[in-house]
């Protein structure tokens, strides 16, 4: 066993003598955090303040650590590397963003667990990374042999310690927002987020920069459009010589990845469900008027009010009367589970493919709260930043195919759900009122699909009629709102 000798280091600070004990082996000196410090003239007390390690003859040696891709849940074993936020030679700290990866369910930002220097990137953009395999090599700081180590106690006030804890907490921000902050030398810990759960938005960074410097980021320069030169009138136009057309294009094959890979699995399972359809038309004339009145109110609150929050809330009120439509079945269809929460999914068309995030607990939300959450999901969906929590847990789905075009659709159920609705475009069409007079009506068609193993046509028809009545007479929704 290596001989152990006791070192005693005496230091005098602020007219008080501090005694600190160290243990040194033959090969290395290990500085131990002092638990107890004796101040002459004062009783002993437990030491818990920060310290700084000063080295007299110490040298530093880099230790290479392989930063591996951890399990991100949901049974995901592989991801696609979509973007690197670092390069070889960059210095990173804990919680700094390393890269953004995309699974078949969501996009995830990977952050560093170490302080150090990036030495190697194992993947290129669009490469497939596997759970448990290295992502990057990070050179961390390590201590070599030293003859003597001295621990200098720092007098840190309670206010400073509390401030460090606040700054050390994890900030919520998308990679794009982090990059904008880094480019303008802004610490995210100094910015107050206005998003959900304190999330820092792009507007927060711009407002912070404007307050600090009084300047606003300049807009991107627009290319100057040069008018074509005038053609001389006296020049004769040559007759073009016909040449055979040669097409040089080639077919290309690429793997199915990301959200499209998830859609393959989901739709394959969905087509095993015996679907039945039910279609109807809804007169939204009164709802169109109501929305026009409420749009300025929502705009003053910073929310874009579309028709979807009304469709979602009306569906939730209908599900309270017909809970079988807010249920799920097991794979063998031997058990049905009635869901307490109305997590209504909204099908979205993005550059990555079809995604279906859901608005959680619609049964306890107001129309404005549904609109606020819908705005957040649409913003993150466009940026490809939806989390796994946003994309899972749905109990009922609406697909607004009419925002692109079309009147009818045959929607496919997302298992393990049992029903889905497809909403067509709103069109101005002539209709008769109760007096037999023709008037201009705002008509939307809806196409429902349901699992015929547990739902029959009568239930779907009654639910559709109730949902339709709420939308044709929006005031009636007030009677059932909670």
Q: What was the pLDDT predicted at 303? A: 94
Rg (CA), the chain: 32
Q: What was the pLDDT predicted at 43? A: 37
Q: Is 96 designated active site?
A: no
If pLDDT is split at 50, 70 and 90, which confidence band does 234 have? low
- Higher pLDDT pick, 411 / 226: 411
Contacts 24+ apart (CB under 8 A), 433-441: 439/285, 440/285, 441/283, 441/285
- Among residues 96, 275, 452, 480, the one annotated as catalytic is 452
Q: What was the pLDDT predicted at 332? A: 87
Of 16-20, 115-119, 317-321, minimum mean pLDDT range: 16-20
b vs e for 286-317, b when ≥16 Cβ sit within 10 Å of the residue's Cβ?
A: ebeeebeebeeebeeeebebbbbbbbbbbbbb
CA dihedral 185, 188, 194, 199 (to 10 degrees): 130
Length of the chain equals 482
Mean pLDDT of 8-18: 35
Mean pLDDT of 299-327: 96
Phi-psi region of 413 (alpha: psi -120 to 50; beta: other; left: phi over 0): beta
DSSP 405: S
Tell me: the pLDDT tens digits for 327-376? Answer: 999 988 899 999 999 999 999 888 777 889 999 999 999 999 999 999 99
Tokens 């619609």, located at residue: 362
Mean pLDDT of 34-55: 37
Cβ atoms within 10 Å of 163's Cβ, excluding its own: 13
Nearest alpha carbon to residue 448 among 429, 468, 431: 468
Angle at 337 between CA 334 and CA 338, to 5 degrees: 145
Whether residue 254 is predicted with pLDDT greater than 70 in this model: the reply is yes
The first and second tokens of residue 110, run together, are 């990977």
Q: What was the pLDDT predicted at 161? A: 34
Mean pLDDT of 466-475: 95
DSSP 200: B
- Higher pLDDT pick, 442 / 79: 442
Q: Is 275 designated active site?
A: no
Of 73-77, 251-255, 317-321, minimum mean pLDDT range: 73-77
The DSSP result for 332-393, as a single string, is: TS--EEE-SS--EEE-EEETTEEE--EETTGGG--HHHHHHHHHHHHHHHHHT---HHHHS-
Check if the beta carbon of residue 271 is closer than 8 Å to that of residue 429: no
pTM: 0.56
Q: What was the pLDDT predicted at 170? A: 61
Q: How far is CA 298 from CA 290, 371, 470, in A?
A: 12, 9, 21
Separation CA 402–CA 418 (nearest Å): 22
Tell me: the pLDDT tens digits for 364-389? Answer: 999 999 999 999 999 998 888 888 89
Cβ atoms within 10 Å of 181's Cβ, excluding its own: 22
If pLDDT is split at 50, 70 and 90, which confidence band does 121 have? very high
If pLDDT is split at 50, 70 and 90, which confidence band does 263 have? confident
The first and second tokens of residue 57, run together, are 């003859």
Q: What was the pLDDT predicted at 176? A: 75
Q: What was the pLDDT predicted at 431? A: 93
- Among residues 115, 127, 330, 456, the one annotated as catalytic is 456
Mean pLDDT of 206-210: 81
Q: What was the pLDDT predicted at 295? A: 94
Tell me: the pLDDT tens digits for 101-110? Answer: 888 777 788 8
Separation CA 441–CA 471 (nearest Å): 13
Q: What was the pLDDT predicted at 73? A: 67
Q: What was the pLDDT predicted at 63? A: 85
Whether residue 155 is predicted with pLDDT greater than 60 in this model: the reply is no
Nearest alpha carbon to residue 66 among 124, 141, 134, 132: 134
Mean pLDDT of 80-100: 89
Tell me: the pLDDT tens digits for 60-82? Answer: 456 888 888 887 766 778 888 88
Angle at 374 between CA 198 and CA 383, to 5 degrees: 70
Cβ atoms within 10 Å of 226's Cβ, excluding its own: 6
Is 278 exposed, middle or buried (CB count within 10 Å of its CB: 0-12, 13-18, 19+)?
A: middle
Q: What was the pLDDT predicted at 214? A: 52
If pLDDT is split at 50, 70 and 90, which confidence band does 393 have? very high
Nearest alpha carbon to residue 205 among 183, 229, 222, 223: 183
Of 73-77, 210-214, 251-255, 333-337, minimum mean pLDDT range: 210-214
Q: Assess whether the previous peptide bond of 369 is cis (omega < 30° from 0).
A: no
Percent of the chain exceeding pLDDT 70 equals 74
CA dihedral 345, 389, 305, 175 (to 10 degrees): -140
Separation CA 231–CA 264 (nearest Å): 55
- Higher pLDDT pick, 13 / 92: 92
């Amino acid at each position: 066993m290596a001989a152990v000798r006791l070192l005693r280091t005496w230091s005098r600070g602020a007219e008080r003598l501090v005694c600190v004990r160290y243990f040194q082996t033959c090969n290395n000196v290990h500085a131990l955090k002092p638990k107890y410090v004796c101040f002459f003239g004062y009783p002993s007390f437990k030491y818990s303040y920060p310290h700084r390690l000063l080295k007299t003859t110490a040298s530093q040696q880099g230790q290479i650590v392989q930063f591996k891709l951890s399990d991100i849940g949901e049974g995901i074993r592989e991801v696609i590397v979509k973007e690197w936020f670092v390069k070889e030679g960059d210095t990173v700290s804990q919680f700094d963003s390393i890269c953004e990866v995309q699974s078949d369910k969501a996009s995830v930002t990977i952050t560093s667990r170490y302080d150090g220097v990036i030495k190697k990137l194992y993947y290129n953009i669009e490469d497939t990374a596997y759970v448990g395999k290295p992502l990057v090599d990070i050179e961390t700081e390590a201590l070599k042999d030293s003859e003597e180590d001295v621990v200098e106690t720092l007098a840190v006030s309670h206010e400073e310690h509390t401030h460090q804890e606040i700054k050390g907490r994890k900030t919520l921000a998308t990679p794009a927002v982090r990059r904008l902050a880094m480019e303008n030398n802004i610490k995210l810990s100094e910015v107050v987020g206005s998003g959900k759960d304190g999330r820092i938005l792009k507007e927060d960074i711009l407002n912070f920069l404007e307050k600090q410097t009084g300047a606003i980021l300049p807009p991107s320069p627009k290319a100057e459009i040069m008018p074509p030169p005038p053609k001389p009138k006296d020049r004769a136009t040559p007759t073009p010589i016909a040449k055979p057309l040669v097409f040089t294009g080639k077919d290309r094959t690429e793997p199915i990845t990301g959200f499209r890979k998830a859609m393959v699995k989901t739709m394959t399972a969905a087509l095993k469900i015996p679907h039945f359809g039910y279609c109807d038309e809804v007169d939204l004339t009164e709802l169109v008027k109501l929305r026009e009145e409420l749009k300025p109110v929502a705009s003053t609150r910073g929310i874009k009010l579309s028709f979807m929050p009304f469709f979602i809330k009306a569906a939730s009120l209908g599900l309270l009367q017909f809970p079988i439509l807010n249920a799920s079945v097991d794979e063998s269809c031997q058990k049905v589970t009635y869901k307490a929460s109305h997590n209504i999914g909204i099908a979205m068309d993005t550059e990555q493919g079809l995604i279906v995030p859901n608005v959680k607990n619609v049964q306890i939300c107001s129309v404005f709260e549904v609109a606020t959450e819908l705005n957040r999901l649409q913003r993150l969906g466009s940026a490809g930043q939806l989390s796994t929590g946003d994309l899972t847990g749905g109990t009922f789905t609406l697909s607004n195919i009419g925002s692109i075009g079309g009147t009818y659709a045959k929607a496919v159920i997302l298992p393990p759900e049992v029903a889905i609705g497809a909403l067509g475009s709103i069109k101005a069409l002539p209709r008769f009122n109760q007096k037999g007079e023709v008037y201009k009506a705002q008509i939307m068609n809806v196409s429902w699909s349901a699992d015929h193993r547990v739902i029959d046509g009568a239930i779907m028809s009654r639910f559709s009629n109730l949902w339709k009545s709420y939308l044709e007479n929006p005031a009636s929704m007030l009677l059932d709102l909670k």
